[in-house]
Amino acid sequence: MSALRTLPGADASGFAEALLDPDSAPPDGVIGPDGMPAPKRFNVYRNNVVVSLSEALGKTYPAVRSLLGEDYFNALARAFLTEHPPVSPVLIWYGEAFAGFLAAFPPLEAYPYLADVARVEWAWLQAYHAGDAAPLDPSSLAAVPPESIGSVRFARHPAACLIGSVWPVADLLRANRLEPDCDVSVDLGRSQPVLVVRPDLDVSLVVLRAGADVFISALFNGETLAEAAGAAQNEHAEFSLADCLSDCLSNGAFTSLAADVTD
């Protein structure tokens, strides 16, 4: 494909648009090594670009690909990339808008859980490539005077991400990505908000207890421990501060206490 080139002054934006639209004619100014228009060469080049982007999307969203099937996913990927062309040459970052695309795609209205599965998979990718940081040592809380514990604020680990969902996203990922060879039971009536974490080298999903999504969301937003616990308790009577905080600390959701905590 190195023999495919454009004439000086050719429309670069038109070239890019035509690459992602299979129904578009080759743009003016695309020529072969003989200096003549080269529609066949352009179509081969276009197909290679589309296939590469579709494969990149499939690597980021393997659970969604498994749920939809290879053929449907590839067709969906082509529709997606027409609306959302890449803005970066780094393909691992391609597909951030995929969850929103799935949620708004009319033919998939009967499968509303797909968007949340995609959100978890995107969070997984972000966590995998997030910066390294040492998780908060739980013993740090022991240095806070008892009368000040309610005013504690936490700094979120750069790899930690909360995905609130009314769908069993953890089980869907287990069945279609993490444990595809296991017989995983998926109950679509079960809600599974999850915390995506990578305290060390491996990314993992933590299925949250009752009220933990409200609690963690508040802490990630900079609210105090007392404020976050109060919000969770108001929404979930069975919320357990001790258990939820222990889950967060043992899974490396935070890196430190806020600077003014012990003042």
Tally the residues of the chain.
263
**pLDDT at residue 40, rounded to an integer:** 59
What's the pLDDT tens digit per position in 193-230? 999 999 888 999 999 999 999 999 999 999 999 999 99
**Got the DSSP string for 27-81?**
PTTEE-TTSSB-HHHHHHHHHHHHHHHHHHHHHH-HHHHHHH-HHHHHHHHHHHH
**pLDDT at residue 12, rounded to an integer:** 45
CA 7 to chain centroid, in Å, comes to: 40
Q: Is 9 helix (H, G, I), strand (E, B) or coil?
A: coil
With residue 13 as reference, give the H or E element that holds it.
Answer: helix 12-19
First to last CA, the chain: 64
**pLDDT at residue 254, rounded to an integer:** 97
Contact between 172 and 224 under an 8 Å Cβ cutoff? The reply is no
Question: Tokens 């040459």, residue?
Answer: 89
With 0-12 / 13-18 / 19 or more C-beta atoms within 10 angstroms meaning exposed / middle / buried, residue 28 is: middle
Quote the CA–CA distance of 166 and 111 in Å, as a whole number: 13
Give the residue with greater pLDDT, 228 vs 51.
228
Contact between 215 and 229 under an 8 Å Cβ cutoff? The reply is yes
pLDDT (mean) for 62-78: 96
pLDDT of residue 30 exceeding 90: no
Share of the chain above pLDDT 70, in %: 79
Quote the CA–CA distance of 188 and 64 in Å, as a whole number: 15
Quote the CA–CA distance of 157 and 161 in Å, as a whole number: 9
**pLDDT band, residue 18 (cuts 50/70/90):** low
Share of the chain above pLDDT 90, in %: 71
Quote the CA–CA distance of 167 and 190 in Å, as a whole number: 6
pLDDT (mean) for 141-148: 90
Residue 22: Cβ within 10 Å count? 12
Q: CB within 8 A of 55, min separation 6: which ones?
A: none
Residue-range domain boundaries for the chain: 1-111, 132-263
The average confidence (pLDDT) of the chain is 87
pLDDT of residue 42 exceeding 50: yes
**pLDDT at residue 28, rounded to an integer:** 57
